[in-house]
Amino acid sequence: MSSAGVGPLSSIKSTVNAAVYREILEHFMLPANKLFGNDDFIFQQDFAPAHKAKTTSTWFNSHGITVLDWPANSPDLNPIENLWSIVKRKMREQRP
């Protein structure tokens, strides 16, 4: 999700550890970012263990991506929570 729009949604069927998270970034986030045509961006994430792993930090550095760390359960405005609300509602609507 960016100010330019929302990228594709994908379902991850496994536990997200640091290795899985890096695969998600590589195969979903990077291609989705190209849709918006802006290589100058700041990536926001919370302090989930997979997000703060040294290998994840190294991955971001090697790709030249600036990361804005966001405390989990921060009382500050977190736009992704609005998107999750929509996703949850849509999933409830699709259940028989």
Supply the pLDDT for residue 18: 97
Q: Evaluate whether residue 11 is within a structural domain.
A: no
Q: How far is CA 13 from CA 16, 55, 61, 71, 96, in A?
A: 9, 22, 27, 25, 21
- Cβ atoms 59, 22 nearer than 8 A: yes
Q: Evaluate whether residue 43 is within a structural domain.
A: yes
What is the C-alpha separation between 28 and 65, in angstroms, rounded?
Answer: 15
> In the 8-state DSSP scheme, what is residue 46?
E
Q: Evaluate whether residue 8 is within a structural domain.
A: no
Q: Evaluate whether residue 33 is within a structural domain.
A: yes
**Domain assignment of residue 26, given as a range:** 18-94
- Entry pTM: 0.70
Domain count, the chain: 1
Q: Mark the ranges of the chain whose per-residue pLDDT is less than 50.
A: none
Supply the pLDDT for residue 57: 96
Q: Evaluate whether residue 5 is within a structural domain.
A: no
